[in-house]
Amino acid sequence: MGFFDNHGLGYKQKQGPSGFKREDLMGIQAAFKEEAIPTVKSEEEIQRSLEYGLEAAESIEDRTISCFSRGELPHYAGINTFLKVPFLEDVREVGNYDVAFMGVPFDIGTTYRPGTRFGPQAIRRISSLYTPYNYEIGVDLRESLNMCDLGDVFTIGNIEKSFDQITKAVSHVFSNGTMPIIFGGDHSIGFPCVRGVAENVEGNIGIIHLDRHADIQEKDMDERMHTTPWFHATNIPNAPAVNLVQVGIGGWQVPRPGVKVARERGTTILTINDVENMGIEKAVEIALEVAWKGAKAVYLSFDIDSVDCGFVPGTGWPEPGGFLPREALKFLQLVAREGICAMEVVEVSPPYDISDTTALLAARAALDVLATMVDHGKIGKKFATP
Ligand SMILES: [Mn+2]
């Protein structure tokens, strides 16, 4: 591989007993992929930090450090937006961005443990742990995308009125040509979010839904709770149930009224055992086939409780036996390769979380999806590479 010939890092090493070639390792290939990523945006950020945040005290030798923290570093400092991207106060300007992160702090649809109204705050806070660069994918989001954080939708203590607020907010972002990444909130928001996207899509929209729960009964305790989003979403004329694929469903928390609806409407359900038996790649192939069949766009709904509750204690209906985190991330990445129109991450309930691990996985899921989309040319058209 000529690509490696000009680097003085020992690539012409002799093969050892294992027969491995160093350059075949993804870990080595990723190191070289990084070399091609520009640093334009990070340098701009440093200049802006020095201007707005003043130059550092004289004793600081690293002159890229500012006096007031205004950028990525230190990771423990700052007033956090998601990944410390700019807060867009004037949402009328959202069309200038490729991606908009937005919170939906809503847990009135919860039927057991509440707390997901604090999900967006927790996800933003722990997202500051991350750099914008992912080693294995080889993408630096700061260099590849114009991203903003819109803050949160003004939800209130009424399910239906909050749904209207959420739909209006998502529709505003999506109709401006910007991809919404939505942090919930309980899963009832899946319906108003899909509604906000679907009304702007000419053609059908498919839904890929990762969850332990089917969430497709009509009502729960007389209201449209977080057990009901897909009943109502698949009533939307251009979001048909035949394009809804539900992955990871199973266990002791799937109410029978929802099972009846799924059966009657013909959604496609893969249990965790299905996924385990056929493998992640095959399961994704099926999910993509179902969701994209005759569809113009695919919406991705990631319920954090689709992951084994040992990894995500901070959620409203914890259930053992779901995905391992790296299985879920792999699944999401393989879906993202084909492009998605919007993504929600729901059911993070910080009061029950331990060491922010649940919120961290939520942040990670969104970032992995975005980086994969960048890597496969599915997003980033608004950004002119210098
Ligand atoms: Mn769930």
Same domain, yes or no: 9 and 114: no
CA 137 to ligand 1 center in whole angstroms: 28
pLDDT of residue 12: 54
CB atoms closer than 10 angstroms to residue 214: 25
Total tally of structural domains belonging to the chain: 2
Give domain status of residue 382, yes or no: no
pLDDT of residue 384: 47
pLDDT of residue 139: 98
Closest among 258, 272, 172 to 212, alpha carbons compared: 272
CA 304 to ligand 1 center in whole angstroms: 7
Same domain, yes or no: 151 and 239: yes
Q: Which residues contact 66 (CB under 8 A, 6 or more apart)?
A: 46, 49, 50, 52, 53, 54, 55, 56
Same domain, yes or no: 18 and 158: no
CB atoms closer than 10 angstroms to residue 346: 30
Full domain range(s) for residue 19: 2-36
CA 135 to ligand 1 center in whole angstroms: 30
Same domain, yes or no: 12 and 145: no
Give domain status of residue 128, yes or no: yes
Closest among 194, 284, 270, 269 to 239, alpha carbons compared: 194
Give domain status of residue 62, yes or no: no
Same domain, yes or no: 176 and 240: yes
CA 305 to ligand 1 center in whole angstroms: 5
Same domain, yes or no: 26 and 109: no
CA 170 to ligand 1 center in whole angstroms: 21
Residue 270: which CATH number? 3.40.800.10
Inter-axis angle of helices 357-375 and 119-127, nearest 10: 70
Give domain status of residue 303, yes or no: yes
CA 313 to ligand 1 center in whole angstroms: 13
Give domain status of residue 386, yes or no: no
Q: State the pairing for strand pair 204-210/295-303.
A: parallel
CA 193 to ligand 1 center in whole angstroms: 16
CA 319 to ligand 1 center in whole angstroms: 9
CA 252 to ligand 1 center in whole angstroms: 12
CA 127 to ligand 1 center in whole angstroms: 22
CA 191 to ligand 1 center in whole angstroms: 14
End-to-end CA distance of the chain: 28
CA 107 to ligand 1 center in whole angstroms: 13
CB 216 within 8 Å of CB 231: yes
Q: Which residues contact 31 (CB under 8 A, 6 or more apart)?
A: none
CA 285 to ligand 1 center in whole angstroms: 22
Same domain, yes or no: 93 and 8: no
CB 313 within 8 Å of CB 357: yes
> pLDDT truncated to tens, each residue of the chain (386 aa)?
344 444 445 455 566 888 899 999 999 999 999 999 999 999 999 999 999 999 999 999 999 999 999 999 999 999 999 999 999 999 999 999 999 999 999 999 999 999 999 999 999 999 999 999 999 999 999 999 999 999 999 999 999 999 999 999 999 999 999 999 999 999 999 999 999 999 999 999 999 999 999 999 999 999 999 999 999 999 999 999 999 999 999 999 999 999 999 999 999 999 999 999 999 999 999 999 999 999 999 999 999 999 999 999 999 999 999 999 999 999 999 999 999 999 999 999 999 999 999 999 999 999 999 999 999 999 986 644 44
Whether the ω angle into residue 157 lies within 30 degrees of 0, i.e. cis, is: no
CA 299 to ligand 1 center in whole angstroms: 17
Same domain, yes or no: 129 and 13: no
Q: Give the C-alpha distances (Å, rounded to integers) separating 26 from 21, 31, 135.
A: 11, 9, 10
Residue 64 burial (C-beta neighbours within 10 Å; 0-12, 13-18, 19+) = middle
Same domain, yes or no: 252 and 348: yes
Its sign, for the CA torsion 7, 10, 13, 16, is negative
Same domain, yes or no: 243 and 182: yes
Contacts within 8 Å (CB) and 24+ apart, 37-43: 37/133, 37/138, 37/139, 37/140, 37/143, 38/140, 38/143, 38/385, 38/386, 39/143, 40/143, 40/386, 41/140, 41/142, 41/143, 42/72, 42/140, 42/142, 42/143
Same domain, yes or no: 156 and 18: no
CA 22 to ligand 1 center in whole angstroms: 42
pLDDT of residue 13: 56
CA 27 to ligand 1 center in whole angstroms: 34
Give domain status of residue 60, yes or no: no
Same domain, yes or no: 169 and 227: yes
Give domain status of residue 290, yes or no: yes
pTM above 0.85, yes or no: yes
Give domain status of residue 70, yes or no: no
pLDDT of residue 52: 97
CA 338 to ligand 1 center in whole angstroms: 24
CA 24 to ligand 1 center in whole angstroms: 39
CA 269 to ligand 1 center in whole angstroms: 14
